[in-house]
Amino acid sequence: MTTQTPVLQLEGIVKTFPGVRALDGVSLAILPGEVHALMGENGAGKSTLMKVLGGIHQPDEGRIIVGKEPVAMSGPLDAKAKGIVFIHQELSLAEELSVAENIYLGELPEKRFGLVDWNELYARTNRILEKLKVGFDARTRVGDLSIANQQMVEIARALTVDAKAVIFDEPTASLTDAEKVVLFDVIADLQSHGVGIIYISHRMEEIFRITDRISVLRDGEYRGTLVTAETDEEEVTQLMIGRSLDLSRNAVHHELGEVALEVRNLSCHGLFEDVSFAVRSGEVLGFYGLVGAGRTEIAETLFGLREPSAGTIHLNGEKVRIHSPADAIARGISLVPEDRKAQGLVLGMNCRDNMTLPQVDDLKAGPFVAEGSEIAIFDQYRDKLDIRTPGWKQAVGNLSGGNQQKIVIGKWLAMRPSVLIVDEPTRGIDVGSKSEIHNLIRDLAAHGYAVIVISSEMPEVLHVSDRIVAMYSGRVMQTFTSEEVTEDSLIQAISGLTPGQAHQTDTTQLSEGKDIQ
Amino acid sequence: MTPGKLSTYLKNGAIWGFILLELIFFTVAGQFLSLSENAFMDAGNMLLLFKQSAPIGIIAMGMTIVMVNGNIDLSVGATYALSAVVLLDAMTWPVFGGLGDWVIPVACLLAVLTGTVLGAINGLIVWKTGVDAFIVTLGAMLGYRGLVFMYNGEQPTSHLNWTLVDFAEAQFLGLHTATWVLLLVTAAIWFLMNKTVHGRNAHAIGDNREAAVNAGIRVGPHMMINFMIIGALAALSAVVFYAETGSVNPNDGELYELWVITAVVLGGTKLSGGAGSIISTFGGVLAIQLLRKGLAHIGADTSTVNLVIGLILIAVLLLDRQLNVKGKEALKI
């Protein structure tokens, strides 16, 4: 196999974003007819690498070689024209249009006067669909198809060009077992035609079932390539998480208070099932799992954004029902949401107004906003959290990610909550500010707050948490204390590989696991 | 110091620069083209301009707060007409026969109440059903107009109360009653938007509804209050105008919603919500009225006026877009 010319080669790809070296000299070679797994933790750089490959990002250094020619990709269409095709986990189909129209979107066959040549369109499409052995035809409306069949449409789209390499990004995320078999058959078929395949997934079982080689990324660096037949899950996991985590575990222990929040058998319409946990004041409870495992949905339920379908929530020993964020805030629960720009901040407003948004109604003098008290509150938390801004008049959209996050945290601290939920505390924040936020979270716990931290980054969750809840597909798999947890046990728990429950959970899966970036 | 400051400055000041341009253009062009003896910038002419700006201007203040809140109200023209009918007709109702001239404040109050209730209906539907305000008020526009026609058929509703006419034509410190109402409403809505909790929250909802909900702000009541405000202002606008003319045709106020929105957008308020300024809306109202008056001054007919205003609206929005893009690029560096 090694004597073959790779269909696709990446050489020393470097891509930096302000404050982050997202890719640091990554090289990959995809041989014709192989299925090549690309693995790595969330944030390891897989998505960035694929965006470079698809021409969405331009690499700062390094080369992309298709066949024998170095190429520059200007965008996904350009990549497709060069034979590099992506099957995304997020389907991008026009539901109201037919299968054929979707497959040839943007390149419909034309007759004279710009009329669509429907006969030709349907004939071409049906030829592709026959190859895929699917049970629908070219005229079917895409919106009427199942998710699995919609994915087949995406794959069919890939087959309209002479594909040299096809990239599957978490393709089985929303498929049943039977549908997976069909997908794997299609992949095998592509393989036999000499197409190189990059297969991105977190699911070890699939990786070992269908791939030939496994390449691992960690922290934007290429960590090595293993031959699937000669390795095992243990070795891959080690390569993914590394042994030298420079973030020390949280070692500081302090007195824990009473149970501040307890959740018993909470379920929410298939998003998560039968979730129970408790968090004491002074404690940081970490939630770790893949995106889509139900962690954010639990936070949203506690904050009154979703109604639970079963189970109870107890605050300071008292059973409560929370119907809206206003309810949650009044009871002392605060949420720092995962997407601070879309959910946490009013970007057009200044720092002060954002900081006092939840309590501006309590601060009024007559019908008017008490701007003096607002400025006092802003100053207090700016100093406390070391928020770097020229002044309160600064529009919050102009601040760095770290400072924006501090504004959101300050906003809630000013409300004096008893439970603070922080969803992805450091997403999109540079490395320096990350540790500041981590220290801040530890500090809050030390001051008696009950803190829940949801994170997709293992070092982070290990670093800040006193206990860690591992979730997979909407269920709590295991709860670890910071003494007993290991990277291996954690990654196995969130991949659904916990002893005894391994593999079977895949079939009873409730919602898809997705990569974040 | 702040990146993009120049473009921000340009953007905020653009409407006033535009007004200045209009004044210069019409003054100069007026010298050659106007059939009138008077100069365009004649004091009496300018005072009249303010007065004529009032009906659209008063509603535009309400539209600004509704649009900053992330909604829109297309039913203002119909609300305006229905409130006018109530105003004029109420003064002839036998129940109020013994009130003498006290019927005037009662009728005015009834008219404003009508507008407020119509606005509340819009707001309640938008709040409780979650249907887009555009659709809800489009329906309301047709429905309320239907009510106007049901009231008196195709006939105009007329009633002249000379005390009321005198009041409407009065000038205090040189300004007409209508101008005063416009200035007071502008000041009141400016305070509401910039100094009150309601204004702050309405702004936050329009800019980022999800973040506002996550901050515990109850979105519905704020939206409903704004619809009630614009309803009341549409009615107030009718009171100001029909106090003087004393006769309302069932078609009156048609296309007002579009003139109002044009003025508000010219003033820089975003259709998507979250950004807008009352002072700039005031500028937008003046700019449109100047244009209508100025074009008439140099002898253009109504169709030309509409064509020119349409072109200018698109040109202004294009310019705004360019400035916005520039501002964003400056931020990146």
From CA A132, how far away is CA A137, in angstroms rounded?
Answer: 11
From CA A260, how far away is CA A420, in angstroms rounded?
Answer: 11
Residues of B in contact with A344 (CB under 8 A): 211, 214
Close Cβ partners of B10 (under 8 Å, ≥ 6 residues apart)? B323
Closest partner residue to B207 (CB to CB) among A349, A394, A398 is A349
pLDDT tens, chain A, 517 aa long: 456 788 899 998 998 876 667 888 889 999 999 999 998 876 678 888 888 888 888 888 888 998 888 888 888 778 888 888 888 776 778 888 999 998 888 778 888 888 888 999 999 899 888 887 788 888 999 888 887 788 888 888 877 888 889 999 888 776 777 778 888 888 998 888 889 999 998 777 788 889 999 999 888 888 889 898 888 877 887 788 765 444 455 555 667 888 999 999 999 988 899 999 999 999 999 999 877 788 899 999 999 999 999 999 999 989 999 999 999 999 999 999 988 888 889 988 999 999 999 988 888 888 788 888 999 999 999 988 888 888 888 888 888 778 888 999 999 998 889 999 999 888 777 666 777 888 889 888 988 899 999 988 788 888 899 999 999 888 898 889 888 888 888 888 887 765 544 343 333 343 443 443 3
The larger pLDDT score, comparing residue A403 to residue B328, is at A403
Burial of A177 from C-beta contacts in 10 A (0-12 / 13-18 / 19+): exposed
Calculate the CA dihedral of residues A479, A481, A483, A489 and round it to 10 degrees. 10
The first and second tokens of residue A25, run together, are 């000299």
Q: Which residues of B82-95 are buried (b: 16+ CB within 10 A; e: fewer)?
A: bbbbbbbbbbeeee
Residues of B in contact with A348 (CB under 8 A): 207, 274-275
From CA B117, how far away is CA B119, in angstroms rounded?
Answer: 5
Q: Is residue B35 scored above 70 in pLDDT?
A: no
Residues of B in contact with A335 (CB under 8 A): 214
Q: Which of B8, B192, B214 to mutate to test the interface with A (most CBs of A within 10 A)?
A: B214
Angle at B142 between CA B140 and CA B144, to 5 degrees: 60
Contact call for residues B269 and B66 (beta carbons, < 8 A) = no
The first and second tokens of residue A208, run together, are 């070992």
Contact call for residues A142 and A97 (beta carbons, < 8 A) = yes
What pLDDT score was predicted for residue A495? Answer: 77
What pLDDT score was predicted for residue B190? Answer: 95
Instruction: Tell whether B318 lies on the interface with A, counting CB pairs under 8 A.
Output: no
Which residue of chain A is at minimal alpha-carbon distance from B197?
A369
Burial of B152 from C-beta contacts in 10 A (0-12 / 13-18 / 19+): middle
From CA A401, how far away is CA A349, in angstroms rounded?
Answer: 16
Quick one: which of B258, B310, B267, B286 has its CA closest to B72? B258
What pLDDT score was predicted for residue B331? Answer: 38
Quick one: which of B251, B54, B244 has its CA closest to B159? B244
pTM of the model: 0.75
Q: What secondary structure letter does DSSP report for A88?
A: -
Number of Cβ within a 10 Å radius of residue A452:
26
Sign of the torsion angle spanned by Cα atoms A46, A51, A53, A54:
positive
Q: Which of A350, A369, A392, A407 to mutate to test the interface with B (most CBs of B within 10 A)?
A: A369
Q: Compute CA B51 distance to the chain's CA centroid, rounded to the nearest angstrom.
A: 13
- Mean pLDDT across B293-310: 83
Burial of A373 from C-beta contacts in 10 A (0-12 / 13-18 / 19+): middle
Q: What secondary structure letter does DSSP report for A249?
A: P
Residues of B in contact with A342 (CB under 8 A): 208, 210-211
The first and second tokens of residue A387, run together, are 């928020």
Number of Cβ within a 10 Å radius of residue A206:
18
Quick one: which of A167, A170, A165 has its CA closest to A207? A170
- Give the ipTM: 0.78
Across the interface, whether the CB atoms of B203 and A349 are under 8 A apart is answered yes
The first and second tokens of residue A93, run together, are 């189909």
CA distances from B243 to A51, A255, B211 (A): 66, 74, 44
What pLDDT score was predicted for residue A244? Answer: 41
Quick one: which of A311, A349, A307, A433 has its CA closest to B215? A349
The first and second tokens of residue A195, run together, are 């197409």
Which residue of chain A is at minimal alpha-carbon distance from B68?
A348
Q: Which residue has the tokens 């400016």?
A: B190
From CA B41, how far away is CA B30, in angstroms rounded?
Answer: 10
CA contacts within 13 A on the Cβ side of A209:
14
Interface size, chain A vs chain B, as Cβ–Cβ contacts under 8 Å:
76
Of the listed ranges A96-105, B107-116, B181-190, the one predicted with least confidence: A96-105
Across the interface, whether the CB atoms of B215 and A358 are under 8 A apart is answered yes
What pLDDT score was predicted for residue A220? Answer: 83
The first and second tokens of residue A201, run together, are 């997934």
Across the interface, whether the CB atoms of B196 and A367 are under 8 A apart is answered yes
Number of Cβ within a 10 Å radius of residue B42:
13
From CA A294, how far away is CA B164, in angstroms rounded?
Answer: 66
Close Cβ partners of A258 (under 8 Å, ≥ 6 residues apart)? A280, A281, A316, A317
Cα-flanking dihedrals φ and ψ of residue A370, to 5°? Answer: -85, 90
Number of Cβ within a 10 Å radius of residue A276:
14
What pLDDT score was predicted for residue A277? Answer: 93
Rg of chain B over CA atoms, in angstroms?
21
How confident is the prediction for chain B on average, in pLDDT? 86
Locate the DSSP E strands across A50-205: 61-66, 69-71, 84-87, 165-169, 196-200
Burial of A391 from C-beta contacts in 10 A (0-12 / 13-18 / 19+): exposed
Rg of chain A over CA atoms, in angstroms?
25
Contact call for residues B271 and B68 (beta carbons, < 8 A) = no
Three-state secondary structure readout of B63-117? HHHHHHCCCCCCCHHHHHHHHHHHHHHHCCCHHHHHHHHHHHHHHHHHHHHHHHH
Across the interface, whether the CB atoms of B211 and A346 are under 8 A apart is answered yes
Q: Which residue segments constitute the domains of chain B, with CATH numbers given?
A: 13-20+40-327 (1.10.3470)
Q: What secondary structure letter does DSSP report for B196?
A: B
Contact call for residues B89 and B157 (beta carbons, < 8 A) = yes
